[in-house]
Amino acid sequence: MFNRGFRRNRATDNENVSAMRPGDALRARQRSSLIAPMNRKLPIIVVALVVAVFAFGAWLNLRVADPPENAAVGGMVVNVSIGGPFELTDHTGARMSDEALRGNYALIYFGYTFCPDVCPTELGEIAVALDVLGEAGDRVTPVMITIDPARDTPEVLAEYVPLFHDRLVGLTGTEAEIKDVAEKYRVFFRRFDDPNFTYYLMDHTSFVYLIDPQGAVASMFRYGTPPEDMADAIRQHMRIRANS
């Protein structure tokens, strides 16, 4: 039984082999040799297509369209509600509100006089930006609002602010007043005691706020923004407002 079955299989194999035409084996090998590279290339093609789709999507996201005339230009575009009314005490001891800044631009910075590096650096950059603006700089009021009212009294500010610019306004107030204005401008700050210093420091965010003549925050500048870039952005805002 087994042998008959074995012979029958051999006979069938012989019939299949005899039925093959000359060149069929070669053509079969050629087809397999073509299909194998295609099978290997298929994953590469799929990966390339996926990469191309993601690259196109990234390009669409990064593409910058022309902003409308009323959009903020230069600096960081402000898409949330920032800023608001305040009334504080200036470095001369007089009370001053945000209304005093209306009609011109203002650059507001939150810092403190005991700051060892970041604050004086940023105030210096603001002063340079005003110098770069030339005559247009006269239309911009630089302001520093302290986040350390316990130490930054009007007398302390009066000695500090002229070191950076003769028109720099220093503002202080009660702890409640400073907390209120900081919250309106979304400024974070807290006391930090460092054992390496004999006095405490303050952790705080470091942005410069450009205020337009109506008292709204037009844009913001990150710490480290070159003063030339800051001045250029202010010029853009002035030019757009003049043409509107």
For the stretch 142-190, pLDDT in tens is: 999 999 999 999 999 999 999 999 999 999 999 999 999 999 999 999 9
Q: 87-243 domain in CATH 3.40.50.280?
A: no
Structural contact between residues 169 and 91, judged by C-beta atoms closer than 8 angstroms? yes
> What percent of the chain stands above pLDDT 90?
62
Instruction: With residue 18 as reference, give the H or E element that holds it.
Output: helix 2-19
Q: Structural domain boundaries of the chain?
A: 2-61, 87-243
For the question of whether the overall pTM of this predicted structure is more than 0.75, the answer is no
pLDDT score of 79 more than 50: yes
Q: What pLDDT does residue 194 have? A: 82
What mean pLDDT is predicted for residues 202-210? 95
Q: Return d(Cα 60, Cα 120) in angstroms, integer.
A: 40
Query: Could you give phi then psi for residue 136, rounded to 5 degrees?
Result: -65, -25
Structural contact between residues 105 and 140, judged by C-beta atoms closer than 8 angstroms? yes
Q: How many CA atoms lie within 13 A of 131 on its CB side?
A: 11
pLDDT score of 15 more than 50: no
